[in-house]
Structure 1
Amino acid sequence: MDFRSVLGITNKRRLALLEKLYYRREGWSSDQLMSELNCSLPILLNDIELINEGHPSFQIVKTKGLYYIVVDKKVSLGNLYADFLNSCPEFQIIEELLYEECESITGLAKKLYLSSSNTQRCLKKIEKALLDAGMELCYRPLRIEGNEGEVRDFYYHFYSERQSAFESTLPKLPTEHYQIMELYVSDFVTENQIHEKYVFQKRQVYNMYVSFWRIKRGHEFPKDQLRTEGINLPQGESYKALAQAVNERLDMELTPAVLRDALWLTFSDSVLFSVPHIKLALTDNSKYQQLFNQHYELVENYNRMLGYRFSRDSKISLAIVLSNDFYMHDPQGKYICFLRKNREAFLKEVSKVYRSGVEKIRILVQRFVHKFQMYQEEDFVLNYMYLLITTEVDSLEWLADQEPMLKILLLSDLSPTEETFLAKQITDNIYGNFRIVNFEKLSGGIPELYRELAKYDCLITTGSSRGLPEDYPVVVIDPFLTSESKRWIQDMISDLGEKKRASRR
């Protein structure tokens, strides 16, 4: 689930407008946008004007009756989400709930320069969204309660999505203190033979920041879920600097217990990035053992679907990737993000080309989560699909190899070199298991052409489809591929593949 529901109606509509323009670059008419956004023309025009004023990197322009978005090449859609997370009062309130510095709604409203009534409305929406996510909004002081790992991960996603610049920054934290945490995490990674990955180290730093605030306010991670042996805590210069920074900023003593609590991602076995740690978890953590074995079964089924492409080490690595992403979550709960649903957006885009392959993976995942009665919410299913597809970059191509072979006849009046080039373009840009055959003989009239077409599943031609059977699959293209003709060919190949598979069942 996401937290878009806490946005006000206007901000929700403006975000939707920007996303629709971003993901469909061929443009939208005003009638289409009004229908999609369920708003009037004056409201649409006002939204466009205010967006152009407030978001200089995302400009909406109108050309020949269609609206387009022009995005500064220095930014991405993530910067837009960061702008919303920084500027919308609902998310400013969510941030304040971490610090627990406001005893009452009046105090919170005063701190954020909001009216008490508006603050109360925002809190009601936030409370409902938190309940849906398995957390609770509490009062005096205003704060969030729930499963401690999920609350901390919730705030990690909040700060991660809110980052708008290359350099990572966190509020209420001087730059030198951020660098001290970075240095300690770097030493922690080295001392414990953890695989050096930027995203893991950044996640540890963000989680340390959130954890220190949670610990200061009395929210400790359950001690019985944290390792006390097998993982080392650096005690050198980086530790001394971190201890001093924690004392200065939070008035806390940095004991080994507090450090383990702050580094809960590793000490709870939620994220494993080293061979020694993986061996430990598989030896003495029954919860991890069970989840790993379940995920290994999913990987085995996936490998079978791909035509047995994985080595044993590859299967183990993929099972670890899956376990890292799901271990901390409630199997009956929900997968949480704020605004950016990049994995869902990725799958939507991939489905436009690899429709049949993506659908096969969806069915595989749905069977898996149903069998074990866990992680059945749609966002969890999408997350499994995303990880299976992206962990092995050739997986969709391997799936295509398992499809029924299609024979495509290419008929053109191009020179041999041009026709060869066109066939290569089609092969490189279209997903599926097919073979292209160039038409090399005179037709001998319509009857002979019909007999020739019967040997193939479809026709791609640079000529005309006139005179061909109405129900024969054909795509007419220019002597070169365009985005539109690629889409036509892909749709035809996907439809024919599905029909051929269905006929073999």
Structure 2
Amino acid sequence: MNLHRLLKRENQRQLQLIETLYYSQRPRSSEELAEIIQCTIPIVLNDIRAINKQSDYYKVVRENSLYHFELKDNATLDVLISTMLTNSLSFKILEVLFYEESHSLIDLSKRLFCSLSTVQAAMNNLQEVLSEWKINVRRRPFRLTGNEIAIRHLYFLYFSEKKALREDTPFSSEFFHFGDEVVRSMIANNQLKTSLAQYNRLNLTFFISLVRISNEHHMTSRILRSTAINAPSQRSINNFNYFLRKEMDMFYSEDIMKESFWLLYSDLFLLGEEQTARVLETNPYTAYHYETHFIFAEKLSKMLVHPLTELQKEQLATILINQHLFHANTKEFISVLQDRKRECLNLLDTFHAHCVHQLRNLVIKFTEEYRLFKSPEFIDNYIYQIIATVPSCLTGLKQIDKTVNLLIVSSDSKMQESLMAELLRLSLRGNYAIHQINVKQLHSTSYRKVFEEYDIVISTSTFDVPNCKTPIIAVELCPSVHSINRIQKMIDQIILEDTQFTVRLIEKGLE
């Protein structure tokens, strides 16, 4: 589940329109866009005009009555997401709830420069959506309560996607500077190995946690018992304490320190070999889930032509643990607007459908066996993390499928026929074999009889073979991208159907 519903209807349309054009392999007509987004053509055109006024980083361009999306070289779709979050009333309310400075709807409407009824409607919508994650909106002051882990993670995602600037917060640059020192000291004292993304997550979660703590929202002490973590240096704590007391009226005690680094003290965020080893020795709950995920990594390894090393299995188990334990109390995957994993999988489905299908089956069986989450978002996230951690699996899975036999029927010279075969070899993926036959060789026999000996027939001229079970695709001597995509999809579909049949046989012990 995500927070798309918090956007106005026109913003939801605009987001869908931009994502459609951004990921489309070709420009689209206004009629196509209207059909995809399920609205009228005038509305599509109005949305395009609105999009082109939002930012200098991106625009929808019309050429020859077709539309495509253009981004500046140094920009991605995150600019669009940031703009929408910044301009959305519902997300402005979500941010106001974070600081807990409004005690009435009247105060909130004045702060956001809108009517009382508009704020009330947006607040009700926000409450309805957040309830899916066991999060509630409370009054006097307006604030979020409920699953504290989910709330802090939600704000981490929100501020990350909004690209919030520290200058826009009520805190000084010195507060952030010395807070950063505490985070870096924590990383150094525990010899944590963090990527830039992991560091940013730890850093932003640190400051979000301090705001939540200052407003009396605490986590239960029973989940902050990790003995695998060493505290930051006393020097960094002393330097930060002055600004913490001045700007938040708090003293950085041991309890607050553990809450500010709750990701580490709850053993929910494993970073580095030494920390992981200590956690597995001291936390039976994490150790159990690590073992189950390591077994999962071993199953994946057996599916690969080149098995994973022990270190790779450990890395994959650790990454999946970081994804899994985080949602243990929500059972619903938490996201805001941006979902790069879904779009990445859609793209991989186009080029590596066979691999994605096998991984999906593996993940689904894993979730069923260990009674983990079964939501589509959760499963997609696991597949994405596997591919990101072991990218070689895209082309390194063992071939348990049969060879797809392609027959090229050419009316051209032998030289041109060989050229087309070579172009197909360079363009197509999967377990397939190319066979060639000239039209002259078909005169003495039935087209249908010959064609049905193969899985796909590719011809350079028009063939009409009634009742032929084998699909026939006519292409130019130099196949277009559209033709290549059609052939590729047919190959993937044949492999997919054959793999499903083979897997069922194996599972029933018939093979």
Provide the TM-score with structure 1 as the length reference: 0.89
Where 1:489 maps in the other structure, the secondary structure is: helix
Report what 1:489 is aligned to: 487
Shift of 1:39: 2.8
- Measure the CA separation in 2 of the matches of 1:444 and 1:219: 79
Report what 2:303 is aligned to: 305
Shift of 1:290: 2.2
- Measure the CA separation in 2 of the matches of 1:448 and 1:34: 46
- Measure the CA separation in 2 of the matches of 1:117 and 1:467: 65
- Measure the CA separation in 1 of the matches of 2:21 and 2:236: 47
Which of the residues 278, 282, 285 maps onto 2:283?
285
- Measure the CA separation in 1 of the matches of 2:316 and 2:289: 13
Quote the sequence identity (%).
Answer: 24
Report what 1:118 is aligned to: 118
Aligned-partner residue type, residue 200 of structure 1: Q
Shift of 1:352: 1.6
Asked whether the 8 Å contact 1:411–1:438 carries over to 2, the reply is yes
Alignment of 1:41-56 (within 5 A): 41-56=41-56
Asked whether the 8 Å contact 1:400–1:433 carries over to 2, the reply is no
- Measure the CA separation in 1 of the matches of 2:438 and 2:180: 65
Report what 1:348 is aligned to: 346
Where 2:68 maps in the other structure, the secondary structure is: strand
Alignment of 1:9-158 (within 5 A): 9-158=9-158
What are the ranges of 5 or more consecutive residues in structure 2 without an aligned counterpart?
A: 506-511
| Alpha-carbon RMSD | 2.9
Asked whether the 8 Å contact 1:157–1:338 carries over to 2, the reply is yes
Distance change >3 Å, CA 309–CA 417, structure 1 → 2: farther
- Measure the CA separation in 2 of the matches of 1:180 and 1:459: 68
User: Which stretch shows the higher mean deviation, 220-229 or 136-145?
Assistant: 220-229
- Measure the CA separation in 2 of the matches of 1:40 and 1:440: 50
Aligned-partner residue type, residue 61 of structure 2: V
Work out whether 1:407 is the aligned partner of 2:395: no
Report what 2:267 is aligned to: 269
Where 1:327 maps in the other structure, the secondary structure is: helix
Asked whether the 8 Å contact 1:473–1:492 carries over to 2, the reply is no
Work out whether 1:187 is the aligned partner of 2:185: yes
Where 2:335 maps in the other structure, the secondary structure is: coil
- Measure the CA separation in 1 of the matches of 2:239 and 2:282: 34
- Measure the CA separation in 2 of the matches of 1:133 and 1:194: 30
Asked whether the 8 Å contact 1:347–1:386 carries over to 2, the reply is yes
Alignment of 1:93-492 (within 5 A): 93-163=93-163, 171-227=169-225, 229-235=227-233, 237-306=235-304, 309-330=307-328, 333-399=331-397, 401-410=399-408, 413=412, 419=418, 426-427=424-425, 429-437=427-435, 443=441, 445-447=443-445, 456-461=454-459, 463-466=460-463, 470-480=468-478, 482-492=480-490
Shift of 1:460: 4.1
Q: Describe the superposition over 1:446-505 as per-residue Cα deviations: whole angstroms up to 9, x where unpaired.
A: 5298787666543445x2253667433444444555432331121121122234446654
What are the ranges of 5 or more consecutive residues in structure 1 without an aligned counterpart?
A: none
Q: Describe the superposition over 1:208-230 as per-residue Cα deviations: whole angstroms up to 9, x where unpaired.
A: 11001001001122222113633
Asked whether the 8 Å contact 1:411–1:459 carries over to 2, the reply is yes
Where 2:28 maps in the other structure, the secondary structure is: coil
Asked whether the 8 Å contact 2:205–2:260 carries over to 1, the reply is yes
Asked whether the 8 Å contact 2:174–2:243 carries over to 1, the reply is no
Q: Describe the superposition over 1:231-256 as per-residue Cα deviations: whole angstroms up to 9, x where unpaired.
A: 22232554343323323332221223
- Measure the CA separation in 1 of the matches of 2:293 and 2:300: 10
Provide the TM-score with structure 2 as the length reference: 0.89
Asked whether the 8 Å contact 1:97–1:144 carries over to 2, the reply is yes
- Measure the CA separation in 2 of the matches of 1:50 and 1:81: 15
